[in-house]
């Protein structure tokens, strides 16, 4: 990256604001294939360079930035999709905001971080499909919960028989949600079963106490069959269960705490797994009860169990043998 020309790009729904750092030059183009062609044409002509000599830096804005990322990967243009919060916190005190400033900020961010940034590699299309299916499952469960809550609310404020039609409609929708959730889970399992190495690890990680089919799906998809994350500590950071020290000098010695920046849904699933594991006979239950008897905090003890589960999941995948308590 040191010899590449750094280009900062602020991505919006329909427009790209582009800033060429070495020339201090800004221009705009459309967020579509024609706009991407113009982006390459302007940058290469003004810098007298080839597309692979550029280095594009833009924020990960979901579907708005995905089209540009796919274009860059297909044309072998080095790029980094960076975390918006990291960019925001790195720029220090700032007055005012505009798309042009944001594009320049991204270019300066890439210049400062050039020894740390790694080119982004998009995951395989099958992984993208699996993630979309997980998102669909989450939405269906939220809708089903809403319909169940609606039925519960009807019991509090109305006389019997007054809301039969509403109740029947909600029950019908709940049954429909059950069918769709089951179908979505089956589709995910079929895709995993079509990839032998994924299927092997999917079965292995369920041998760990507390890991059921739902959490196993999330673990294997978010780790991309344990290729995106190979270190349990890094995955624990991603899930928001890794404790960090908070201290300063000799006077401030804070307790280790969890950072709020995390995948909250994955964290909640690991929490359910830990609560389930301590109910079962074995080392988790013994360890948890011993800490509680010593007067240790219940939540910190539960978080240790969550980290133990993650460590054992990575261990069984590495050894390719089922977990033995």
Q: Using one digit for the tens of pLDDT, what is the confidence trace for 39-54?
A: 999 999 999 989 889 9
Between the alpha carbon of residue 71 and those of residues 67, 106, 319, the distances in Å are 6, 19, 38
Q: How confident is the model at residue 305 (pLDDT cuts 50, 70, 90)?
A: very high
Residue 195 has pLDDT above 80, yes or no: yes
**Whether the Cβ atoms of residue 276 and residue 210 lie closer than 8 Å to each other:** yes
Q: Please spell the DSSP secondary structure of 56-124, one letter per residue.
A: EEEE--THHHHHHHHHHHHTT--EEEE-HHHHHHHT-S-----HHHHHHHHHHHHHHTTTT-----PPP
Arithmetic mean of pLDDT, 250-277: 83
pLDDT score for 244: 83
Average pLDDT over residues 147-174: 82
Full 3-state SS string of 183-220? HHHHHHHHHHHCCHHHHHHHHHHCCCCCCCHHHHHHHH
The verdict on pTM exceeding 0.95 is no
Quote the mean pLDDT of the chain. Answer: 89
Sequence-ordered list of residues with C-beta below 8 angstroms from that of 18, at least 6 positions apart, any chain: 7, 8, 9, 26, 27, 28, 29, 39, 42, 43, 103
* pLDDT band with cut points at 50, 70 and 90 for residue 94: confident
CA distance 309 to 303: 10
Q: Which residue in 248, 244, 293, 237 sits closest to 270, CA to CA?
A: 237
Of 116, 101, 121, 94, nearest in space to 8 by CA: 101
Whether pLDDT at 250 is above 80: no
pLDDT band (50, 70, 90) for residue 254: low
């Amino acid at each position: 990256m040191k010899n590449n020309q750094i280009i900062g790009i602020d991505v919006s729904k329909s427009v790209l604001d582009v800033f060429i750092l070495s020339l201090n030059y800004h221009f705009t183009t459309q967020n579509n294939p024609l706009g991407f062609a113009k982006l390459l044409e302007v940058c290469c002509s003004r810098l007298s360079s080839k597309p692979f000599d550029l280095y594009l830096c833009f924020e990960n804005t979901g579907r708005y930035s995905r089209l540009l990322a796919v274009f860059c990967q297909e044309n072998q243009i080095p790029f980094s999709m960076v975390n918006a919060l990291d960019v925001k916190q790195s720029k220090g005190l700032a007055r005012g905001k505009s798309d042009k400033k944001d594009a320049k900020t991204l270019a300066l961010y890439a210049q400062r971080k050039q020894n740390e940034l790694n080119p982004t590699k998009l995951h395989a299309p099958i992984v993208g499909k699996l993630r979309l299916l997980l998102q669909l499952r989450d939405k269906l469960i939220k809708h089903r919960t809403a319909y169940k809550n609606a039925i519960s609310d009807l019991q509090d404020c109305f006389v019997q028989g007054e809301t039969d039609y509403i109740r029947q409609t909600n029950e019908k929708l709940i049954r429909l949600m059950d069918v769709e959730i089951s179908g979505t889970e089956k589709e995910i399992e079929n895709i995993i079963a079509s990839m032998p190495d994924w299927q092997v690890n999917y079965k292995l990680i369920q041998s760990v106490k507390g890991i059921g089919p739902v959490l196993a799906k999330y673990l294997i998809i978010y780790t991309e069959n344990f290729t995106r994350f190979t270190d349990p500590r890094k995955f624990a950071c991603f899930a928001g269960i890794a404790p960090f020290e908070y201290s300063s000098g000799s006077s401030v010695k804070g307790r280790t705490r969890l950072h709020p920046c995390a995948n909250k849904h994955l964290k909640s699933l690991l929490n359910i797994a830990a609560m389930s594991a301590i109910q079962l006979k074995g080392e988790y239950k013994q360890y948890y009860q011993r800490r509680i008897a010593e007067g240790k905090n219940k939540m910190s003890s539960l978080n240790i169990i969550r980290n133990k589960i993650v460590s054992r999941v990575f261990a069984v995948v590495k050894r390719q043998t089922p977990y033995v308590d």
